[in-house]
Amino acid sequence: STRVRSSAASDVYKRQVNMADKKRCVVTGLGLICGVGDNVKDCWDAVTLGHSGIDEVKSVDTSNCYAHKGAEVDKASSELSPENYDRSSLLCIHATNEAFEDANIDASEKNIGVILGSCVGGAASIDKYYTDEIKGDGGKKEDIFKMGASAIANNVSAHFGLEGITANIVNACAAGTMSIGYACDLIREGKGDVFIAGGSDSFSSLAFSGFHALHALDENACSPFNHSTGITLGEGSGILVIESYEHAVERGAKIYCEILGSGVSSDAYHITAPRPDGEGQMSAIRRAVESSALSFDDIDYINAHGTGTAKNDEAEFLSLHTLFGGNDHLSVSSTKSMTGHCLGAAGSIEAVFSVKAIKENLVPPTIGYSDEDLKVLSEKAGNIDFIPNKSHTKDVHYAMSNSFAFGGNNASIIFSDNEHDIPDNSKNEKIYITGISNLTGTRTDEHSLNCNLTSEDYDKHGIKVAFYRKLDRFSQLQLLSGMDALADADIKIDKDNEYKTGIVIGTADGPMTEIVDFQKKAITRGTEKGSAFSFPNTVYNAAGGYLSIFSGIKGYNATVANGNQAGLQSICYAADILADGNESVMLAAGTDENTKTNLELYTKAELLEKPLGEGSVTLVLETEESANGRNARKYAEIKGYAQAHRPVSYDNSEVNSKAVVEVIEKACMNAGIEADNIDFVCCDDKKIIKTLMPCYDVSQEIGNARAAASAMTAAYAAELLSDSEKNYEYGLALSMGAGGTYSAVILKKA
């Protein structure tokens, strides 16, 4: 639809734009669809009136399950959009269209980024593909391209024709919140003026069967901070249009509020359960408050994670009372009591409600309290207002939204209606590669290259059999590669660096083998027969979670699913985190597996131009201060990096030469050099670039290892630059992914 540039400046903060404004991020548009409505107004009216969207599940067969409740969107996929996308993408497109209309953005403004979160990705399409196959109808090729979480942000950018930085954050139930925070980081770094940020997940038999197997579902509607007997699953999408303040003012946009700081941390404790002491949750909350230059007493309202399970509610109760015990005006609620838990979309849906709470000075309730429940709540709530059953008005100047996830991932973000200067903690210092692990495959037949993992690989890091047998292959590859890279960098995680070390993992397909195996069993055996052992490994961020748990890393932890180039994109992401001053050391990795399942899918999708490979390539990125402080060996300097996007359908892997030129030019500009200064190129497919300079195609050795090959381009370039016999000064690592995303990293001899 055509959106007309607005000449009105209603609700715009009336002050001149100055240099300080360049760090300000504002919300100018909202879009929402979930179990309580298909637009922001209806959803907000429902939750403030205490109306629940939880009902009997219709889309999944729960006849033999102990639980039958869910919060489903009352629209068929065909009603959401005429496009041929997975339901998660359709929900997201629906919410994005509303957000664009609300923001009144000019349709010709193409340079808009898309950062989206998801947990289950294209689970509905996985279910459809294997249901068709098991019934004998044959899984359809077009459904394969809808399966991965990698497709969602790319589908949204293609649908609306958007050309800004595009990424899918797949940190389970923290993904929506993390996506909003990352979009703000990119704006503050000058890498875009406008972003679509949020999350999307559809109701699926995979998720229902998995949480049923964990016995984590409530037989009744979930009762957060009350009975705490389990979650109720939901579906939906929440979208925010986020702009730099000066861009919003320039176009006369209405402004809902500002986004201040955010925080991300890792529990390093358990793959599904939160730390009982709430340490990881409190770390993320502290980071958000500190990066916003606020105190805990400033927060007026918190939209809590509030899932309704005993362990989650107990840990969050402890975190809130510990940090906000002195805040005598704090209100807290869990809108999941009405929307259900929408997984990767939960944080973004709750972000929309947090923005509305500020705008309307109205706080939504947690519903489901009986008179007897209210007596119990009054005893344990302390001075915190948990808003039981009925919303109420109050002045809300600072609102926080919290999201905690499988893998021990925690995220918190703060919204404000006050003009508020946030501190600039960014570091203008060099970033070095100080550790490398190249865990890649060797040829097993004409179609495959596989890694040979042995007990010796685990023993050298002290990884016990009981631990690594819990892991799927995707996680095993990442664990070994991550520990090898730390060892190569001579870094041991301890109390001094555990919170200053982080992880970003890039993947094209994630744990697809584990996802498919779980889904096929749910289809053939029944929804009620899911495996509690394997379900935790179906989430994309499980690999990062296991690496955090074993290594003790408690800092930033993100997983990015974005096609083959995700390995190189993880390096860009990790470098951004270091530049922001959040961490001193980051592990950046590209990981993808190759199993019988992967090979079958790539064969059916006609994607075997090269033998399918696998592996995990991890690089240790470190600030100059940290590296010099411990006299680290330096392979190379990360001199510059960039991302570009030219939207095409996700099944399109043709090279866009203009995008290649753009991403190289941007990387050179970021590095402060001319393209003529580059001595060689490392890529994962020579079709990306035609050049007379030395060009190393890593896929010639390791096959189409997807994100692992992408990360390998930077690892190989760093090794070439560290070779004293090579007379190289600058190297370019280059990679592209399906859907039109390109990443480039320029490395310099250290």
| Range list of β-strands (E), 421-556 | 431-440, 442-445, 448-450, 501-507
For 373, counting Cβ atoms within 10 Å of its Cβ (0-12 exposed, 13-18 middle, 19+ buried), the class is middle
Backbone φ and ψ of 74, nearest 5°: -85, 50
Contacts of 629 (CB under 8 A, 6+ apart): none
**Residue in 341, 451, 645, 683 annotated catalytic:** 341
For 604, counting Cβ atoms within 10 Å of its Cβ (0-12 exposed, 13-18 middle, 19+ buried), the class is middle
- What is the sign, positive or negative, of the torsion defined by CA atoms of 341, 344, 349, 351? positive
- How far apart CA 739 and CA 655 sit, in angstroms, is 10
For 63, counting Cβ atoms within 10 Å of its Cβ (0-12 exposed, 13-18 middle, 19+ buried), the class is exposed
Report whether 233 contacts 393 (CB < 8 A).
Answer: no
Q: How far is CA 582 from CA 271, 329, 485, 640, in A?
A: 24, 30, 21, 19
Of 109, 85, 80, 110, nearest in space to 97 by CA:
80
Tell me the three state secondary structure of residue 521.
Answer: helix
What tokens appear for 431 in the block? 């970033």
- How far apart CA 499 and CA 582 sit, in angstroms, is 9
Q: Beta strands 409-416 and 257-266: pairing type? A: antiparallel
| Helical pair 205-213 and 512-525, crossing angle rounded to 10 deg | 80
| Range list of β-strands (E), 306-419 | 331-333, 362-363, 392-393, 398-405, 409-416
50: left (phi over 0), alpha (psi -120 to 50) or beta: left
- How far apart CA 742 and CA 126 sit, in angstroms, is 27
Report whether 481 contacts 436 (CB < 8 A).
Answer: no
| Range list of β-strands (E), 646-724 | 680-683, 695-697
- How far apart CA 180 and CA 176 sit, in angstroms, is 7
Report whether 326 contacts 296 (CB < 8 A).
Answer: yes
Active-site residue flag, 173: yes
**Residue in 34, 92, 173, 451 annotated catalytic:** 173
Q: Which helix (H) or strand (E) holds 320?
A: helix 310-324
β-sheet bridge partners, residue 716: none
Q: Beta strands 25-34 and 501-507: pairing type? A: unpaired
Active-site residue flag, 451: no
Amino acid found at 569: Q
- How far apart CA 680 and CA 729 sit, in angstroms, is 9
Report whether 589 contacts 200 (CB < 8 A).
Answer: no
Q: Any idea what DSSP says for residue 5?
A: P
**Residue in 94, 159, 305, 645 annotated catalytic:** 305
Q: Any idea what DSSP says for residue 300?
A: -
What tokens appear for 86 in the block? 């997975």
Report whether 276 contacts 313 (CB < 8 A).
Answer: no
Q: How far is CA 69 from CA 209, 597, 699, in A?
A: 13, 32, 48
Tell me the three state secondary structure of residue 114.
Answer: strand
What is the Cβ-side half-sphere exposure of residue 450, based on CA atoms within 13 angstroms?
14
DSSP for 541-609 reads: THHHHHHHHHH---S-EEEEE-STTHHHHHHHHHHHHHHTTS-SEEEEEEEE---HHHHHHHHHTT--S
Amino acid found at 714: A
Backbone φ and ψ of 177, nearest 5°: -65, -45
- How far apart CA 116 and CA 594 sit, in angstroms, is 26
Active-site residue flag, 645: no
**What are the catalytic residues?**
173, 305, 341
